[in-house]
Chain A
Amino acid sequence: MKRIIDATLRLAPGILLVFALAVGGWFFSKWLQSIIAVAWGRSLASTVIVAIVGGMLIGNLVPLPKVFAAGIGAYEFFLKVGIVLMGARFLLMDVARLGGIGLAMVVAEILFSIAFVGLFARLFRLPDKLGTLLSVGVGICGVSAIIGASGSIEAEKEQTGYAIAVILLFGAAALVVYPLIGRALAMSDKAFGVWAGLAVDNTAEAVATGAIYSEAARAYTTLAKLCRNALMGFVILGFAMWYAQRGMAKQVTRKGLFLWQKFPKFVLGFLGLSALFSALLAIFPAGSAHSFLVTRIGALKNYSEWAFQLTFVGVGLRTTFRDMVRTGVKPLVVGVAAEAAVAVFTIGMVFLVTDMLPTL
């Protein structure tokens, strides 16, 4: 019991701050939109952008006391709850179809980024393990993959910090650069969404990038990103075994258990709710029970929107540019090259297969 009270006290200030900013930002955004006359100005004042930019301004300009740190860090929890709740509004069939093609694209993307980053890391003589961490971060899902991999390949703490800083820096850049490229190329919501999900590294930033483009794009981004997250364990296991073979890390003894431990469990929650609501809609294809279900799915969508809104405030607050510039030039150069290469590779793939993907 004491543990729960301690955790609550530790998390409460930051979470309350994030809540206050999310709700305040939402009203502020609506007010801004009501006074802006031009359409592009209104889209810049969207609730998503106001949450992220507001968070960034406060995170970088206001010296926040340390009591807020733990609660601000909890935005990852809201992200995951938001994704689990999102499961309710996707039919399992669509998830399976998109997931099948998505997984194939993700495998290609991961192989490409591991090969490319590995090559560049050698060229710039980065330490092997830093190179691995960067390629895992770029290839799969940013921060959680890096943390997962750094334990398994026994990387130095400093290298882990570097790799995370690089990934976060590019996440922040992606929020601005990707939507601009998408608009310039007049990409559809589907194409842009899948692209952002494949190419933006960290889950929170990927979902935010999709959301900045459009609500429809965000749905595709989230699904594509989940495919990447689901493969995290396999890639980390591969690297762990490779380093173990060269005597640079411990052997992995129970591989099945290892894969299960590294599997992002919230994906199961997403799939579970998708299965449940798909089954209910199939049982009640019409009539009052059906329309009741539709209103409930709408209500759950609202909850998931708010969970994402909290996430976006957290992403903004966490993006402190001061910490990022300490990264050093070499990992940054490798990062720039890798991100650009992955972006080009994945946009090519997306243009090839977009027509094959189901419309959500």
Chain B
Amino acid sequence: MVDLRTELAGLRLRNPTMLASGFLDETGGSLVRVHRAGAGAVVTKSIGPEPREGYANPTVVEIDGGLLNAVGLPNPGIEAFVPELEEALAAKALVIGSVYGKDAAEYALVAGRMAEAGAAAIEMNLSCPHAKGLGTEIAQSEEAVREFTRAVKDAVDVPVFPKLSPNVADIASFAVAAERGGADGIVAINTVKAMSIAPELRMPVLANRYGGLSGPAIRPIGVRAVYDIYEKVDIPVIGVGGVDSGHAALEYIMAGARAVQIGTALVDQGLGVFERVTKEMGFLLEDIGFKGVAEAVGVAHE
């Protein structure tokens, strides 16, 4: 029997599948369902200091090979979210709190409250387009990534995992910046900036015009990013982008990830995707001669 357990900065996961942020993770009831469906850990919707409605619809477009979305960070704000988090924790889910803010202090504030309420780790959503004074996403300034990571690290005692954007020339240098800021792990990748146009109407479909692409279409980009990051940092990497099978998960694992996040595959496969991917990883690892996930991490570099 293949050992599917994995470990991330002291967090012990029963298997390497995690729920990606932005999917079924705004309410306690949904987080509990995903936990019961077999996810090794669940990441919450990105939560900020205040309630936020997000963008107008259309916010999601189904396209070949994935999903394009611009939901605009809707969330109930950290105070209203705490009871939802507590509901998930009461069901013994391993919960990682995703946070965003307009400046480092807001990130630290929300992360602090999230950790205090029981989140096992903090994921930093750095692709927030509303950051004050940067004129761009935090994720596109190495200095900001380091500073914001440092601010969150100083605010909490749990592991901190910045989630990096692929919309940069050299993602590995951002991972290095995050590691210098004290990050305990790296999540890669966030969505790829993209657009879909309705020719009949001569306009972009998303109300926000631009959106983030997820799903199998971006998997090779994610695998390459994880591969590059693994070469440059010593902290664990969590792979995300188009994982929809055990085979896809192992691409990330062999590129250097110790766990993978799953989101878009929920559309076609539903909640069964976590158990299916985990089982497939087990069969495939056994078939190719591995005793566990841990020994497969990064083997594509050898």
Asked if A and B bind, the verdict is: no
Chain A contacts to B: CB under 8 angstroms: none
